[in-house]
Amino acid sequence: MARNIGPEDRVVRIVVGLALGVIVYLGYLSGIGGIVAAVVAAYLLITGVLANCLVYKLIDVDTSVQEQPYSSTDDRAGL
């Protein structure tokens, strides 16, 4: 299973998932809104822990690819 979620995205997903879960657990949301929030919280937690998102795969997004930092040494020079 290839990862398509980067570290920053994982942290945000886990924090938001936990916050939504606590809100639902404490009863601030009930009825259909609570069910939807619980499903979204579970999805965010699962995708955050596994670092793989089905929605990202469907729309071809990959946040795990990070740009390489600029290097002042030119490796092409052969020095």
**Which pLDDT tens digit goes with each residue over 31-50?**
999 999 999 999 999 999 99
Query: Do 4 and 61 meet the contact criterion of CB atoms below 8 Å apart?
Result: yes
In a domain, 37, yes or no: yes
**Which pLDDT tens digit goes with each residue over 55-74?**
988 998 888 876 556 666 65
Give the distance from CA 60 to its chain's centroid. 14
In a domain, 35, yes or no: yes
In a domain, 29, yes or no: yes
In a domain, 54, yes or no: yes
In a domain, 5, yes or no: no
Structural domain including 51 reads: 12-62
- Of residues 74 and 53, more confidently modeled: 53
Query: Do 63 and 6 meet the contact criterion of CB atoms below 8 Å apart?
Result: yes
**Number of structural domains, the chain?**
1
pTM for this model (two decimals): 0.76
- Reported confidence tier of residue 1, pLDDT bands at 50, 70, 90: confident
In a domain, 3, yes or no: no
